[in-house]
Amino acid sequence: MDLLHSQLRIIQNRLSFVATEPINWKLYVQAFAWSVTFFESYLLIRQYPLYSKTAPPEVLAEHFDPGVFEKSQRYGKDKAKFALFSGFYKQLVESLLLQYGFNAWSWSAAGKLIAKFGYGPEYQILQSVAFVFIMFFVSSLPTMPLQAYGTFVLEEKHGFNKTTPKLFITDLLKGWGLAFVLGAPFLAVFLYIFQWAGDRFVPWLMGFMISFQLIMVILYPTVIQPFFNKLSPLADGELRTRIESLAGKLKFPLKHLYEIDGSKRSSHSNAYFFGLPWSKHIVIFDTLIQQSKPEEVEAVLAHELGHWYYLHPTKLMVISQLHTFAVLALFPAFLHAPPVLRSFDFPKEVAAQPPTIVAFLLFQMILTPFESVVSICMNAISRNYEYAADRFAVELQDMVHDEKMSDMGDRLGRALISLHVKNLSTVWVDWLYSAYHHSHPTLTERLKGLESFQARRQKKAQ
């Protein structure tokens, strides 16, 4: 432990200029935030002309009924225009809030709020919780019209929206309520660790955050998910039999198999699994069951079980923890840096002893360029894992020695095509746009990958 802290001190010493030099951090954050916005807009402009193509890729042509490809192109074009507008709008709102001292105002407002209940500035954790929720609530108000437009205009226009205005408002209130019920205790413990451990907070905070993630794995399906969707045991029948048989052959620790009422809000479909290593739950959207044949849903689940087999969720969690460790290792230099707070309009008396939550929030803003690079790298890793899971489905027969699995690759290909067609997903994608935004390969890339995996498997069998 002492070795760890000595190495962290070396990093902090190299960043000691942060606490003394009057750098214009606000200008830095503004410049990089707008740079990211302009770059994302450039990517949309690269992608936009592809929505004017009049025919799908040759490999997909036979799978589109007349008029469906045109619908998918119109849907993609409308989403791109909305994304371009909303990207600039959100950045403009954030830029104005930052420029005119919204963060400093929120801290002051939080102090005044807790003072009404008889608490002074010495109750920093309480003021910090109030600060975060004031910022969260006020900053979310300008973007609420975008949420409503995306749901009730854009998705409604293209036939996907199933959300009623009542459900939209209910979901919003439930989300705020859960954010407070779960977020307030988390934030209080998070900040208490800083007070208790001092500058040696890194390993203790890492331990707390990992523990919290594991607790959420347990709480999400049993407590949180039911607030928004109904999880019902998947009905007996061919699909359930197929999935249970597949899980048994792979020794997948399946505890529950659920159908979720995703159609309550949207026509889009999905399937996923979650849980602890010894107790897993599979959730299938009712829309996926309605849109696909049982053997195709089984192929989709075979792909998902490939992620489990290769420990992809665990590996991503490890990468995420390494990223978190890197962020926390850099933070001490910003924790005691009055010039940083002064740059963001905080008064001298607050900046003299920077509140931990304020310093951490500003530090996160300063890390924007670094986080953009991390996001691109994580997408690249995720796409590699998707190919591996597809290969797993193709080679499944060799693992379980079941002739019925010999066409799993073909079934997965048909399922992917069906889902893309019925969800009006974009089939023409610019490579740079995809690299930046997508955690999955494009449909044509995955179909080529499946074809390659199948050819390689057949070659080995000869």
| Active site positions, annotated | 304, 390
- Euclidean distance between CA atoms 314 and 277, whole angstroms: 9
Query: Residue 179 pairs with which residues in a beta bridge?
Result: none
DSSP helix/strand/coil, 425: coil
Nearest to 79 by CA among 163, 151, 133: 151
Burial of 24 (C-beta count, 10 Å sphere; 0-12/13-18/19+)? exposed
- Buried-exposed string 198-235: b where 16+ CB fall within 10 A, e elsewhere: eebbbeebeebbeebeeeeeeeebeeebeebbebeebe
Task: Tell me if 362 sits within 8 A of 38, measured CB to CB.
Answer: no
Which residues lie closer than 8 Å to 402 by C-beta, 6 or more apart? 249
- Euclidean distance between CA atoms 249 and 271, whole angstroms: 20
**Per-residue DSSP letters for 339-390?**
HHHHHTT--HHHHTS--HHHHHHHHHHHTHHHHHHHHHHHHHHHHHHHHHHH
**Per-residue DSSP letters for 299-314?**
HHHHHHHHHHHTTHHH
Run of H or E including 4: helix 2-14
- Euclidean distance between CA atoms 406 and 399, whole angstroms: 11
Nearest to 314 by CA among 387, 217, 398: 217
Nearest to 333 by CA among 3, 7, 10, 19: 19
Run of H or E including 133: helix 124-140
Query: Which DSSP symbol is given to 161?
Result: B
